[in-house]
Amino acid sequence: MNIQFRFLVAPILFFIAACETVSWQNPDVPQEQWKTDRTACVRSARNASEPARKRVAKLERLRRSGDENESYNRQVDRAETEADRAEARYYKDCLRGKGYSLLPGI
């Protein structure tokens, strides 16, 4: 898969998945503030997970430059999973830091 495509699609998929599976609530802020806070946290999580994304890109380049073997494929898959988990963790931590709490899925 093209690395630029991954960098574009991964955050979008992360955002959709985060929004559909859980509900965040902060009774101390107006509902209109949710969009602003969510956007800020998505951006913050993306920036915080950038080192992990750079590792994925480096492994992708190594895989393409030489022998495409199963070891590189596993390393890329593992690095992508770690980057996705880190981004999700940063996103949740950001929202919690803004006073939101996680409610059961709708």
pLDDT digits (tens, 9 = 90+) for 21-77: 668 999 999 989 999 999 999 999 999 999 988 988 888 887 777 666 667 778 888
| Whole-model pTM over 0.85 | no
Average pLDDT over residues 14-25: 65
What is the pLDDT at residue 28?
Answer: 92
Torsion of CA 94, 100, 101, 106, to 10 degrees: -100
